[in-house]
Amino acid sequence: MSRTEFTIRATLEEVDGLSRSLADLARPCLPAEKLVGLEIAVAEALNNVVLHGYKGREGTISAALVIRDAAVTVEIRDRGQRVPEGALAAARSLDDLDPLVESGRGLGLIAGLSDRLDYDSGPDGNRLTLEFDRQDAAA
């Protein structure tokens, strides 16, 4: 198992670099299609923290990439506002998302592109865990 951790300021400018860094680290473990899914899901999750969690306030986002034999996990932590109750459960499947709609697709993309998703909010902040089943990257 390997674990790599990052902490960034909660700004849209820093989100892009963190998404790319996490995808670069996962590249040897995931096939191209799944790697693209990881990068999109992580970017959506990080953007949501900046835009909806912190709503323009200063803050930080921590992210960890954990590589295990069976899966690659991305854990995102912040101290912004929590995801509204039931929002993740109500996220629509990728098949139901309208590609022409400009907003409201983020949670559906996050849920649809990850193999497993877990969210928790408590006194220490929010934690979103995205898991991607590991496959032979050369396949």
- What does the pLDDT look like over 106-135, one tens digit per residue? 788 899 999 999 999 999 999 999 999 997
- What does the pLDDT look like over 89-98, one tens digit per residue? 766 554 443 4
- What does the pLDDT look like over 29-75, one tens digit per residue? 999 999 999 999 999 999 999 999 999 899 999 999 999 999 999 99
pTM: 0.86
Contact between 73 and 129 under an 8 Å Cβ cutoff? The reply is: yes
The CATH T-level fold of domain 2-133 is Heat Shock Protein 90 (3.30.565)
Q: What is the residue extent of each domain of the chain?
A: 2-133
What does each C-alpha distance from 138 to 24, 52, 103, 115, 121 come to in angstroms? 15, 37, 35, 19, 37
